[in-house]
Chains A and B, each alone.
Chain A
Amino acid sequence: MTSMHSDLAIWSAAVNAALLGTDRAPLGAPTSGGALGAAYDALVRPQSDAAANLLRVAAAASAYQRCGRTPGRTQEAAPSPCPRDDRPTCTLAAAALLRRILQGEHQSLLRTWLTLATRNDVRAPADALPTVLDLARQDPKLRPLVRAAGGTRATWLGALNEDWAFAVSGDSPDALATIWETGAGMPRMEALQRLRQLDPERARTLLEASWAQEDATNRAFFLAMFAHGLSPADEPFLERALDDRRKEVRQAAAALLGRLVSSALIGRMVDRARQLVTLGKSAILQRPRLDVMPPDEADASMVRDGVNPKPPTGTGVGEKAWLLAQIIGAVPPSTWSATWSIEPDKLIRAADGHEWREPIIAGWLIATERFHDATWARALWDNEAVARIEPKWGAPPLEHAFTRAASADVVDAELRREVSARHDALRGAHRVVIALLGWPNEWSDALARALAKRLKDYAGADRVSFTGEFGMRALLERCAHAVPVSAADAFLDGWPEQSDVWSTWASAVDTLSSVLRFRIDLHLAFNEESPA
């Protein structure tokens, strides 16, 4: 035993004796001595009791060890360093704002921060990346932005932490294909989804190759990813999937083919629709007249093409009307106006008072949203009295069909016109409110300013409801994110704070101002054009 070992033995002997108690196990003298052993006699004094002697020896032994310990050499190789990222880091101000977002202040603006960073080609600060990656792990929609703003450092971290693997699989189709072929579970699904966005052909080829072996429940999930990058090249594969054993897969395939304008499925639906609806002329007024022959029941070929044969129970919707709405809904609306050489406007008015008005309009609303037909969207919007139907028909509300299908400029201009012209435009469930809440775009400067003016009118005098789906609180929350920074000033000042009803407005307007000021700070921090 070397002297150093015997010194260490003094410490373990002291620990053992202390555990058992010196009444039972007094500390024995060391067998041989190193430096500590040599001091032993001075520490153990006959006039002290055994416990005091033990504590004294322990104090010396512990200090002796503490002072003598040398950290060893690690067996672990130095990590491979992160590749350089040549883009500059964001400004200090931008980094400070990101930290505030990550601490929970206006967390909804993380997306904005990442978008601004990506647009200005700067990097997120490295110390913020772990939190950002954790958030992107929970919210896959953030991932492309995190990959862009996180740069090589995010990729490097993704290789070390499997929770953040999405940061690695990043932008290499080959890497994604490997995960698809060798991986399992969620990472494998995500790899296919990402590959579909990068290289739709390759994603389809991979899925076709393994289709027969895929779990039946997963097939529908896989197909759902194909809405992105849908092209005629997908058609043969999807057409085969219409005969899958599982209903969910058949429905998913039919839904995809139903969006592919050139597909045979849509051709079949057009043929069906033409047998159901023809154009005539009213004898007296010489106005266009819709002649409708609804189908009696759904045959097997219709069901194969995705037609849902039975109306939802309890709605009072008849089976014939239900089928009629679905078949019209599957046909690009431009088909009608082109075939009959007639403007959508006149066709919609021809449905006014029609025996089958609701299913016809339901079909047109469905089709307008599905095929993004801007002309029809405008025509339906302009004929609200005819085009408004109950939700039971399964069609999108008029406002959604309009905002999703019409061009952004038209939506923006229309909403602005109505906000300026009609005092009640922002009241309760008015169509302008529903449209504003459901439209994901940022508003134009002019629309935002028109809204600010109208809102201030209300805050000066009106009692409005703040709660509920279309309440004022929901609208002000939407303003916080949809108002462009250039128009933020219109919402920050000039509120009628002396008004009788101001107390009901104050807190919601404060919240709005807080978000807007933060967004202004964000733009300034990225040196984007400063607001007026």
Chain B
Amino acid sequence: MTWTAETVLALAPDPASAKAGRDLAVRRKWTTLGISQTAEGVPVLWGACQGSGKDPYLTRADTSEPAFKCTCPSRKFPCKHSLGLFLLFVQSPREFTTGAPPDWVAEWLESRSARAAKRAEREARAADSDGEGPAADPAQSEKAAKQAAARAAERERRVAAGIAELGLWLRDLVRQGLSTAPARPASSWETMAARLVDAQAPGAARLVRQMATIPASGDGWPERLLDRMARLHLLLEGYGRIDSLPPDLAADVRAGLGWTMAQETLLELEGVRDHWAIVGRRLTEDDRLRVQRTWLWGRDTRRGALLLHFAPAGAVRSETKPIDPTFVPGTAFDGTVVFFPSAAPLRAIVKERTTAVDWPTGIGYADVSEAVTATAGADARMPWLEGHPVLLREATPTTLTPAQVRDATGRAMPLSTRFRDRWRLLAVSGGAAVPLFGEWDGEALTPLTVWGESGAVSLA
């Protein structure tokens, strides 16, 4: 991709780092600035930056991924020196002297390519064991396949045991009465969730953890809790007779319990080529994981697609790739995405981004009725959906409380009580009908993007 000051700064772990990086993107901060190219023609940068210490910090950047390494003690990644170096390159590439990388850069590049080679080898071996590559030794690959099958069977056994216990636990709750739920210690939910993690059913564990917060969530909690428990129970029963389910629904059950699909397997599935508009992005973080939810909308397929990117929470590990900053709401690309198999496909990965294209006009639902008809249809096919993409071509935010958006016919969607950016939404709309994208949970809409006269505005 072509890097700009904005996309570089989007790599910053926080605003303070962005500012510090900007301040370091100045020629006089650097005693050395060098550039060379990898075999693939990717620019590699390095520089020495005089900090407060005696020795300058040595900073290097590989602009392909991008990847960074710096000798400074900062726990942030990328550090301000890495950002400053990259930013300076984007703004004034001529300040960099072309030449052979010094040892401290060459060593880093070597260790990176060695690691990449190892990874490629591992992947090749994995492919071989699936019987897809040229097998060097048929006996060995047969052995590997057997081992993999044994591992898979072992997991099935553990999941089955784990969810049997979960089923018992759910039914016990119902037997004793949910009125006892608010008094239950938080640890009782967490214990169950931890057992499910041990049983290799992380999806079920996540649902149990979400349930833990419901009894303290105010009015209507019994309805919400029962709804969650019933859906989770439905998932368990679905697993119990998974062989009799249609393949797509069976895939939903397995995904719900926590089986993941290998990227390579997905990429072999048929993709959907379209002009994909990036209509919204939301970042969430819990104590374990940062999740980037990116919503796409197909111009011709007229459907939403959800990309998930994960990063460890508070990532400080050197060379951890930041969550993908290249999907910018308000831009569009011609490309192919592959949907995860599902009775109501939504989650997807991008197989190929061919080119950037102009924003497709006139996409989205004409009114609230059309949106609700579509989302209810998806709910009917797939009972564990938690949110739907809703792109309204013309939504008018209302001014009284409770907050809603209405269409030209007067049908309205209430906005989520968690939505904090109502005034920005109103400011952008100016009381007029504007394109609006949000996540619809069946009861309330959480707006993520609104389009005003200057283009897309992300909301929180």
The answer to whether B40 has its CB under 8 Å from any CB of chain A is no
Given the complex of chains A and B, what is the CA–CA distance between A95 and B398 in angstroms? 26
With beta carbons under 8 angstroms apart, the residue of A14, A69, A78 that contacts B226 is A14
Q: Which of B233, B396, B426 has the most CB of A within 10 A?
A: B426
| Residue interface mask B331-375, A partner, CB < 8 A = 1 | 000000000000000000000000000000000000011001000
A49–B171 touching, CB < 8 Å: yes
B316 at interface, CB cutoff 8 A? no
Could you say which of B23, B177, B396 contacts A78, with CB atoms under 8 Å apart? B396
User: B380 near A: Cβ within 8 Å?
Assistant: yes
Q: Are A58 and B227 in contact (CB under 8 A)?
A: yes
Question: Which stretch, B247-255, B268-276, B279-287, B404-412, touches the partner chain A?
Answer: B404-412
Given A21-B177, A82-B430, A513-B26: A74 and B15 within 8 A (CB)?
no
Closest Cβ of chain A to B413, distance in Å, is: 6
Determine the distance from Cα of A289 to Cα of B368 in the docked complex, in whole angstroms. 91
Query: Beyond A51-B171, A62-B227, A78-B396: 8 further Cβ-contacts under 8 Å?
Result: A24-B177, A49-B171, A66-B376, A79-B431, A82-B432, A127-B452, A160-B426, A493-B28
Assign chain A's interface to a size class: 35 or more
Give B contacts to A, CB under 8 Å.
6, 15, 19, 22-23, 26, 28, 50, 52, 167, 170-172, 174-180, 222-223, 226-227, 229-231, 233-234, 237, 368-369, 372, 376-377, 379-380, 383, 396-400, 404, 406, 409-414, 423-424, 426-428, 430-432, 442-443, 452-454, 457
Chain A residues whose CB sits within 8 angstroms of the CB of B424 once the complex forms: 127, 130
Q: A59-B231, A105-B19 are in contact. Are A81 and B431 (CB under 8 A)?
A: yes
**Inter-chain contact B453/A89, CB cutoff 8 Å:** yes
Structural contact, A70 and B372, CB atoms closer than 8 A? yes
Evaluate whether A510 and B23 lie within 8 angstroms (CB atoms) in the complex, with A74-B404, A153-B427 already known: yes
B222 to chain A: which residues have CB within 8 Å?
15, 18-19
- Residue contact B233 to A59, C-beta cutoff 8 Å: yes
- Distance of B371 from chain A, by nearest CB (Å): 9
Which A-B residue pairs are the 4 nearest by beta carbons?
A21-B177, A82-B430, A58-B230, A51-B171
Chain A residue at minimum C-beta to C-beta distance from B223: A15
Of A69, A71, A95, A492, the contact of B412 (CB 8 Å cutoff): A71
8 contacts between A and B (CB under 8 A): A18-B177, A49-B171, A59-B231, A67-B379, A71-B372, A74-B412, A126-B427, A497-B50
Closest residue of chain B to A23 (Cβ to Cβ) is B175
Q: Is the interface of B mostly helix, strand, loop or mixed?
A: helix
**A15-B222, A129-B427, A157-B423 known; A79+B454 contact, CB < 8 A:** no
Residues of chain A within 8 A (CB-CB) of B397 are 79
B398 to chain A, nearest CB (A): 5
B19 to chain A, nearest CB (A): 5
Say how far A382's CB is from chain B's closest CB, in angstroms. Answer: 41
Q: Mark A501-515, 1 if CB is under 8 A from B, else 0.
A: 001001000100110
Q: Is the CB of A103 within 8 A of B15?
A: yes
B427 contacts A72, C-beta separation under 8 Å: no
Q: Given A19-B222, A66-B379, decide whether A130 and B423 contact each other with a Cβ distance below 8 A.
A: yes
Measured CB to CB, the closest approach of chain B to A48, in angstroms, equals 9
| Complex: A388 Cα to B412 Cα, angstroms | 73
Inter-subunit contact B454/A125 (CB<8 Å): yes
Q: How many A-B residue pairs have CB under 8 A?
A: 174
CB atoms of B413 and A71 under 8 A apart: yes
Q: Which of A63, A76, A514 contacts B400 (CB 8 A)?
A: A76
Q: Which residue of A lies closest to B453 (CB)?
A: A89
Q: Across the two chains, which residue of chain B brings its CB closest to A159?
A: B399
Q: Cβ of B430 and Cβ of A68 under 8 Å apart?
A: no
> Nearest residue in B to A63 (C-beta to C-beta)?
B383
Identify the interface centre among A15, A68, A70, A79: most chain B CB within 10 Å of its CB: A79
- With an 8 A cutoff between CB atoms, is A285 at the interface? no
- Give chain B residues whose Cβ lies under 8 Å from the Cβ of A513: 23, 26
By the criterion CB–CB under 8 Å, are B174 and A55 in contact? yes
A residues sitting closer than 8 Å to B (CB atoms) are 11, 14-15, 18-24, 49-52, 54-56, 58-59, 62-63, 66-74, 76, 78-82, 89, 92, 95-96, 103-105, 125-127, 129-130, 153, 156-157, 160-161, 492-493, 497, 503, 506, 510, 513-514, 517
Report the Cα distance A14→B398, complex, angstroms: 36
Q: How far is the CA of A105 from the CA of B379 in the complex (A)?
A: 45
Assembly CA distance A67 to B374 (angstroms) = 10
Residue of A nearest to B235 (CB): A59
B224 CB to closest chain A CB (Å) equals 10
Which interface residue of B176, B453, B454 has the most chain A CB atoms within 10 A? B454
Query: A18-B178, A51-B172, A67-B379 known; A62 and B430 CB under 8 Å?
Result: no
In the complex, A15→B410 CA distance in Å?
Answer: 32
Query: Are B234 and A59 in contact (CB-based, < 8 A)?
Result: yes
Q: Which residue of B lies closest to A54 (CB)?
A: B174
Among candidates B178, B234, B442, residue contacting A56 with C-beta atoms closer than 8 Å: B234
**Chain A proximity of B400: nearest CB distance (Å):** 5
In angstroms, Cα B233 to Cα A49, docked, is: 13
Bound state CA distance, A19 and B379, in angstroms? 26
Partner of A72, one of B19, B177, B412: B412
A12 to B269, CA, bound (A): 43
Nearest-Cβ distance from residue A79 to partner chain B, whole angstroms: 4
With CB as the reference atom, state the residue of chain B lying closest to A21.
B177
Closest to B396 in A: A78
- Please report the C-alpha to C-alpha distance between residue A429 and residue B381 in the assembled complex, in whole angstroms: 78
User: For residue B172, which residues in chain A have a CB less than 8 angstroms away from its CB?
Assistant: 51
Tell me which of A11, A52, A103 contacts B233 (CB under 8 A): A52
Q: Which residues of A contact B223 (CB under 8 A)?
A: 11, 15
Alpha-carbon gap, A81 to B396, bound state (A): 10
Which of chain A's residues have a CB closer than 8 A to the CB of B15?
Answer: 103-105
In whole Å, how far is B129's beta carbon from the nearest beta carbon of chain A? 39
Q: How far is the CA of A103 from the CA of B171 in the complex (A)?
A: 49
Q: Given the known inter-chain contacts A59-B230, A127-B452, please indicate yes or no for A81 contacting B412, CB distance below 8 A.
A: no
Roughly how many angstroms separate A14 CA and B376 CA in the complex, as a whole number?
Answer: 22
CA distance A513 to B125 in the complex (A): 54
Q: Residues of B contacting A79 with CB < 8 Å?
A: 396-399, 431
How far apart sit A157 and B430, CA to CA, in the bound complex (Å)? Answer: 8
Contact yes or no, B176 A23, CB < 8 A: yes
B237 to chain A, nearest CB (A): 7
Shortest Cβ gap from B204 to chain A (Å):
15
CB neighbours (8 Å) of A20 from chain B are 177, 179
User: In the complex, are the beta carbons of B409 and A56 less than 8 A apart?
Assistant: no
Alpha-carbon distance A68/B442, docked complex (angstroms)? 10
Report whether A74 and B406 are in contact in the complex, using a CB–CB cutoff of 8 Å. Answer: yes
Given contacts A19-B222, A52-B171, A66-B379, contact A130 B178 (CB under 8 A): no
Give complex CA distance A95, B453 in Å.
13
A56 to B234 alpha-carbon distance, docked (Å) = 7
Are A19 and B179 neighbours in the complex by a CB distance under 8 Å?
Answer: yes
A72 touches B411 (CB 8 A): yes
Q: Is the CB of B178 within 8 A of A19?
A: yes
- Whether B454 and A92, one on each chain, are in contact in the complex, defined by CB atoms closer than 8 angstroms, is yes
A18-B226, A80-B431 given as contacts; is B398 within 8 A of A74 (CB)?
yes
Assuming A72-B412, A74-B398, A74-B404, is B454 touching A21 (CB within 8 A)? no
Q: Which of B26, B174, B383, B396 lies in contact with A59, CB distance below 8 A?
A: B383
Interfacial chain B residues near A70, Cβ < 8 Å: 369, 372
| Contact between A68 and B226, CB atoms less than 8 A apart | no
CA distance A67 to B379 in the complex (A): 6
A506 to B22, CA, bound (A): 17
* Set A23, A74, A127: member contacting B410, Cβ < 8 A: A74
